[in-house]
Amino acid sequence: MSKGLIHHVEIYVSDLKRSIDFWGWFLEKVGYSIFQEWESGQSWKLGETYIVFVQAEERFLDIPYHRSRVGLNHIAFHADSRQQVDEITNSLQDKGVHILYTDKHPFAGGNDYYAVFFEDPDRIKVELVAPPHE
């Protein structure tokens, strides 16, 4: 049993297709595989943890997501290496994804914190972090 580990995270999105296109390639690059698919959602799984994206109902789309409001600020993933962070960064740039803190990249988290910070289609902040002291 994996007592205390996160079982799953469920995120409601404004445009499911756009979110699936965005998250699918990234999650697969960091080791996740498609787990569940249904009309209003899709999930990816790695080990015993899975991440779910669900289309928000129209009546809840009037107030867009903002990470400074109450709720999720960001989600961070482990990278295999600094090289993987660099490869993902290049892919993000090729896809036109908004990368955050470019003036400090790849050390925006501190001197020995090698990471890329970026935003998904709903502006949820995502982080990919290399192992320390690589």
Domain with 45 in it: what CATH number? 3.10.180.10
Q: What is the band of 111 on the pLDDT scale with cuts at 50, 70, 90?
A: confident
Q: Are residues 43 and 91 in the same domain?
A: no
Q: Are residues 42 and 90 in the same domain?
A: no
Give how far Cα 39 sits from Cα of 16, 42, 82, Å: 10, 8, 37
User: Is 25 contained in some domain?
Assistant: yes
* Cα end-to-end span (Å), the chain: 30
In whole angstroms, give the CA distance from residue 49 to residue 5. 8
Give phi and psi for 9, each to the nearest 5: -125, 135
User: Is 101 contained in some domain?
Assistant: yes
In whole angstroms, give the CA distance from residue 125 to residue 67. 7
pLDDT, average across residues 37-61? 96
Query: What is this structure's pTM?
Result: 0.89
Q: Are residues 83 and 134 in the same domain?
A: yes
User: Is 68 contained in some domain?
Assistant: no
Q: Are residues 45 and 14 in the same domain?
A: yes
Q: Are residues 44 and 86 in the same domain?
A: no
- Which residue range(s) make up the domain with 111? 74-134
User: Is 29 contained in some domain?
Assistant: yes
Does residue 74 carry a pLDDT above 80?
Answer: yes
Q: Starting at the edge strand that comes first in sequence, how are the strands of the sheet with 49-55 ordered?
A: 8-13, 49-55, 41-46, 33-38
User: Is 62 contained in some domain?
Assistant: no
- Please give the tally of structural domains in the chain: 2
User: Is 3 contained in some domain?
Assistant: no
Q: Are residues 82 and 43 in the same domain?
A: no
**Best CA proximity match to 26, nearest among 114, 113, 108, 116:** 116
Instruction: Give the per-residue pLDDT at 28.
Output: 96
Q: Are residues 19 and 50 in the same domain?
A: yes
Residue 123 has which token pair?
């502006």
Instruction: Give the per-residue pLDDT at 134.
Output: 64
**Best CA proximity match to 51, nearest among 74, 29, 72, 23:** 23
